[in-house]
Homo-oligomer: A and B are copies of this chain.
Amino acid sequence: MTLKVYVDRMSQPSRAVILFCKLNRIDFEEIKVDLSKRQHLSPEFAEINPMKLVPAIVDGRFKLFESHAILIYLACVFPGVPDHWYPADLFRRAKIQSVLDWHHTSLRRGAATFVLNKALAPALGLPLNPKLAAEGEKILTASLSKLESFWLKGSGKFLLGGNQPSIADISLVCELMQLEVLDDMDRNRVLSPHKKVLQWIEYTKDATSPHFDEVHRVLFKVKEMLKTLRSTESSLNKKVQSRM
């Protein structure tokens, strides 16, 4: 029975799960749960994930949600997944678990709050919220500093000094890719001081090519759409002001 993966590629943990499946040639059926159409709130999807969030999987009779739990499960039950994604070594595994736990309350919280309230909200039919955007940016900036000074402090290309990526690299890089939908000035202000982070994103892209670009394609489309929207709004505002 084929693994069913319930996702919206606009969701960063959804992309991490799809990317992992593609990289490891796991046979899966992608079922889109369109967040902009609020399909995640439907009674049908509540049968899959009562928390009404993507991603979620159904593997035969087994249902699971929460992207980190899904990535760990897939790495453990599908044959042929290389060890580096979720090492059998208990010490390395514990460190990966530590990054993933840290991610929930720091990088994830900062990036998701910032991106939603600074740029993405209109695409979901929601208003922007400058106050929440500022709070998100503060958490995000502090988290990026910790990424740079601690998690990426080793000599290797990846988190924890590894020379091959783990599920933590996929999860955190997919999170940071969400910053692509921001205005370039905002994105650069936040990311550009963190050279090691930028280099690590490139290493992760290279190590997961060509699937990385394919999985993120939708994000670049939304980036263009939001750019056009902002530019139209800006010229409308200028016209209104010139007539006042």
Contact = CB atoms under 8 A, between A and B. Distances in A.
A213 B102 CA distance: 29
A64 interface: yes
Contacts of A101: 66-69, 104
Chain A contact-residue range equals 20 to 34
Given A50-B150, A51-B146, A146-B51, A90 B77 contact: yes
Interface stretch (A37-45, A91-99, A183-191, A204-212): A91-99
Main secondary structure of the interface of A (DSSP, over half): helix
Contact of A72 (B62, B67, B69, B94): B94
A218 to B, nearest CB: 24
A105 interface: yes
Contacts of A94: 62, 64, 69-70, 72-73, 76
Centre residue among A51, A66, A73 by max chain B CB count within 10 A: A66
